[in-house]
Each structure stands twice: as structure tokens, then as C-alpha cells.
Structure 1
Amino acid sequence: MSYFEHDYDRWKRPNYLGIVGLVLVSAFLGGLLALTLAQAFLKAENNGLAPRQELSEEAPPQKSSSSQVDPRESPVVAIAERVGPTVVRINNISGRDFFAGPVESTGSGVIIDREKGYIVTNYHVVEGAQRLEVTLKGGNSYAAKLVGGDRQTDLAVLQIAAPDLPEAVLGDSTKLRVGEMAVAIGNPLGEEFAGSVTAGIISALNRKITVEARPGEEVTLNVIQTDAAINPGNSGGALVNSRGEVIGINSVKILRTDIEGMGFAIPISDAKPIIRQLIEKGYVSRPFIGIYNFREISEQMAQWYDLPVGIYVGGVYPGGPAERAGMEAGDIIVAVEQTQIRTFSDLQGVLSQKKVGDRVSITVVRRGKKVDLQVTLGEMPRQ
């Protein structure tokens, strides 16, 4: 047998002692690696990567049922508990029917001053009332006094004398964004469904809707659109944001069978100066140019009669601001302060930014020629 043959046979024979040793060393190293990884994972979990629930007396363990919702995670619950007590039911007793029963209608209101008992609501909720009654969430009722109302903005302020009233926090509707949460609180259909809470989102901002304030008279409102359910009786209630701030006064809903989820509220930032004037004066002081029998000249009318688009002035009040500035019946208002005027809403929009006593430039077309007039705004007569 050669040397090479002997050597080959020696390495080919299995070395069982070496194999056993290799297995033991591998098992030890594997166990050490597993222990190290487990410690690292547990450390990461405790550092917040995979948070675990701590048990304490303040936070008892929750059941593992997936259908259970922790109320602390729902802002609507907190909103209902915080703002709900500030929303009241308003009864408008306007007379008696044929059988000597009271003629009543109901609406909602929001307590905005706990010390003085001021409540804001819609004008149409209190219009025509012979007697007003406010019912708090606990069921106590109080006679209410009408402090002031404004048909043009559909706002009114009431006052009651009651102890320990809650008070709503008024927010800033100019900071609203489409898509954020909105909660409506009110009393749809009267006492039976008092204190109803509905939730949705802000669907749109700065919507313009025209409603009939009374037979033959329409007003245009700037409103917030929401899909939170607003039903008859919700009028005057609160539209609330996720922080529990009132950002709108619920006002109207489009009542059509083919439309659902379109409710509207008056922005609270628009309402604040109106509320302030109603409390201070009992009415809203508005600038007045002193014209009547006016009508809009539309694009179509302008083409038919070869006239400019604008506001046709049918008459001028004697001694009023317009007459003193030289305005005449038959003039067509086409601009105020260089802002084009095409509709009465345009004119209202410009004048709403002015105060009584302001001097404004009004451009009219008279017999085909433009005339610039300087008008010192007066105060609109109270109705």
C-alpha cells in the first residue's frame, strides 16, 4: 500500500467525536443569538415601537371584543356632554287657534352669556311671538324676553333670568376647512326629540342661499354647508367643531325629496357683530343710500333694452343720502368703490363692509353716460 492510499483512507473514516463537538458548539451559539435578539425586541417594545397596555386603577383593562368602542376616543361624546347643556328649546306662542288652544312652534337656541342669560337663535324661530318660553336641558322652563332680532341675517337674541346657567364657547368660523368634523345639536320636532346630536363634516364654505324672509321679501344668507342632519326644530341650535366650539348657528335645510344631507348654518364669525348690536341697541344699524323700487337688470334684459347690467333705481327718498348726492330716478348703479355691481346681493355685499357715515363713490349710468357720485351713507330706517 502506498503512502497516498493510506492517507486517503485515514481522512475518509468518520470522526464521531468531532461531529458531536460541532453540534454542541452550534447549539450554544444559536441559543446565545436567540437570547440576544429577544432582549433587543423587548427593549424596542418598551421604547414605544410596539406599545403595550399598562394596567392601573385609572385605566382598567378593556375587553378584547373588537366591537367595543372606548368613549374616551370619540370627540362627539365629549362635545355632546360639554355643549349639549348650552342648547335650549324655545317655544314660540303666537296666539290661539279656533278651539282656544295655543298656536305654538318650537326651535332651538344657544346660551352665550351665563351671567346675563343671553341666548342666540334664529329670527324666524321667534318672529311673531306673543310669548316666548325657554326650556333648559334639565326640564326647567323660563319666560324669555326678546332683546332684539334681525330678519336680514335671521338672527335674534333672547334673555332669561335663571341660576347656574352653562355657557357655550364661540369659535372662529373663518378658520374652518372643508372636510373637518361638524356636530349639530338641537331639538328637532320639539320636546320628543330634544337634545338630539348628529355628526358629519363641513361640506362647503361661503355658500349663498336665498330664502323667503316673509311673503314677497327674500334675503340672501352666507352660510356653512354641512351633512350633519338639521331638521325642523334644529333652527337656532349649535353647529360645533371638534374642539367643542360653536362655529355656526343652524338655520335652514333644503326640503326636497330628491336631496339629502344638505343643511346650512350661519357662520359664527358673521353672527358675532350682529349679536353685539342686538344686545347693545336691540337692532342692527346698517348703511343706507336711500333708494326704492329698484330692480336688477340682467344680461338678457340688458340686451333687450340696450342698457348696462346693474341696479335700476326706481325712486329716491326725499332728503336721503342718494338725493343729497345727486342721484336720480332712472339711474342705473353699475359700481360702488370701483367694485362692479350686477345684482342686489353685490350691492349688499359692498355696503355690509361700510359703516353709517362712510363716504363712498357710486357710479351710475344716466342716459347712456357714466356719472360718479359721492354718497355719505345714512342709517337704514328701522322696520
Structure 2
Amino acid sequence: MKFLGYRRPDGKVGIRNHVLILPTCACSSETCRLVANQVKGAVSIINQNGCAQVKDDLAITMNVLSGLAANPNVYGTVLIGLGCENAQPDDMVRLIKSKTNKPLVKLVIQEEGGTLATIRKAAAYAYEMVQEASKVKREEVDISELILGTNCGGSDPTSGIASNPVVGNLSDRLVDLGATSILCETTEFIGAEHILAKQAATPEIGEKIYEIIENYENHLRTVGENLRNGNPSPGNKAGGITTLEEKALGAIHKGGTRPIVEVFGYAEAPKKKGLVIMDTPDYDIASVTGIAAGGAQVMVFTTGRGTPTGNPIMPVIKITANKYTYEKMKDNIDVDVSSIINGEKSIEEMGEILLNEVLEVANGKLVKSEVLGINNDIAISRLCNYV
């Protein structure tokens, strides 16, 4: 099976052709937004981190930012820093270059002489990059080049009964074709971790699944918190999910049935093909951001109650098995799989339909969040509060 993608100098394949205007810190985020607004084909993100962070949190932030620049959906990056932040622009350049050899330029607001001077120069760089990006033609590549992210948000019982199993079926299909599928949201494994551990390809991978869950719960205990105080969310409960364990038993279906071959950290890139787990938080936008930073070209996002979530770099295909949600939020939801609940279609049939949708999006079809311009949903996970 094939799709049409953009081959990058680092050998990876993108399904979008963005020029990224990337802020190193909160203080350069607005400047980046203003630059991106000047140039069609450029995108920016809002980065609320990058300064006044403890060491480990700063490392997470810098890894996410560099991962977004390295994502194959990005042609090249214009990096803009303020100059006095912790995420120093020169350090960011080195980190990005360690992950990719795509086009990259750097500007520092304090050195350029302020916002207007920086915008003028950055917009010129972005303009040139977009023109160069437009020369890159899509070429036919094997489906094994695809990395799929999976996520859920605003879940209700239809998520666990139908939409998550459909994504699991899609995951199995892609893994069988040699592609990669990322299962995430570590906190939503709790209560079902023993099931995932049995699915691990090796005992060591099974132990790693237990380990990432234990680490998260221990971290919360050290600050006197309990995950169950906030999860399930009020919306989950209103939809009919009463416990974290119920939520987990539905959420893990997104991973399908194939062996789990790797477990790795937040915003890291998978080293193996097949079904893998990224250790992400349950906050869906932070989880989606980490998946994009890990190199996924496309995301399938299940929702029972509905969400407008998008991403500036990676198209987010949203599906629901709740017919009422689909009817109320047709402008946000891409695929309706409620026919499973109604007994009209099987999980396998809808899995094939969803695979075709992923291929269409990979070939250039815009998802609804892209059409609406919902493209700045960014959140970066952190361990500690700001200092």
C-alpha cells in the first residue's frame, strides 16, 4: 500500500509541507505569530515555556520544540528567541540539528533590534522557505513510512465500545503493513496495565509499562495529589464513565491487538516500527503535542462528547461513535462510526473505512480542524511548577 508524501533531506516523509516559525520561549511567541500571519504556508505555535523552568522541565520543553522542527510535516524552521531565556537559541539550533538536517535559520529579538526588525527579517526568511518548499513534489512511498498517533478526549461509553476499537483495528492494519502506531496517555492505562503488559513483545517491555504508570502515580503522591481527583473529568462522568479503571478499559482498545514492541519517553521518536507506547500525560492537547514532537505525521483522535482539537503541524482526524455528538458537531468531527452502535456496520468494516480516510489525509485531504484554521492547540507537559 502506498501514499504520496514529501521526502525530506533526513530521509523521512511528510504529508504536509509547513514552514514552522518556532519560538524558543513565551517572550518570542507573539513575534512568531505575527511573522506567520505575514506568510501563507507558514505556521507558528504558542510556547508558554522556555524560561523560568527547572532543569528537567526545560529539557522536556527543548525536546518538544526540537521534535516539532524535526517532524517530517515541516519543510524548514525559522527559530526566534528573545535572547535571555533559558532555552537559549544557540542551544536550540544544536538540538534541532542533532535531529534533522532540514532548512533552519535563527533570529534573536534582542540582537535584531526589537519586534519590528525581527518580523521584517523573519518574514523574508519564511517567504523564501515557503517558495522553496513549494518546489518539493509529492512522491509515492510505502505505507511503512507512516507513523500514526492515537489519542482520545471528551470520552464517553461509546468511545470504549466502538470508536476506540475501530482505531485499534486501524492500528492492527497499519502494523501488519509495516507502519508504526503510537498508543499514549499513560494515566489512562491505570486499571488495565496488566492487559497491556500481556500484550508486550518481551517481559522487559511489560515491566516498562508498569514502570511508567508507577512513576506517574509516585510523582503525584510526592506533592500530595491523587490522579483520581481529576480523572475521569466532569465531562467523562456526565457521559457515563464513573471510574478511571472503566476509562482505561476502553482507552487501551486504541492500541489494537499486535505486540507492543517499544515503550519510550514523552516527545521522543520511536526507534522501532509496529505498535509502540509513548509515555504521555492524560491532558489530550499535551499528549497530542508530544506525539507530533515524536514524529507522527497524522493523528486519529476519538471523542464521545466532541472536541475541536487540532494541531499546527499534524492533521488530527477526529472520530466519534456517538450519533448525537456527530450531529451536533459535524463541523469538528471527521468520521462517524456510530453505525457500529446501531448494528449497521462491524468494527472491521469501519476499520477499513478509517484506513482509507487516513490514506486520503496522507495524500493531502484537509481534516476539518485544518479547514477551520484550528491550528494552535499546543501544550507542553512539565513535571514541576515554574520557579
TM-score in terms of structure 2 length: 0.24
The higher relative CO (CA closer than 8 Å, separation ≥ 6) is in 2
Greater strand fraction, Structure 1 or Structure 2: 1
Q: Who wins on radius of gyration, i.e. which is larger?
A: 1
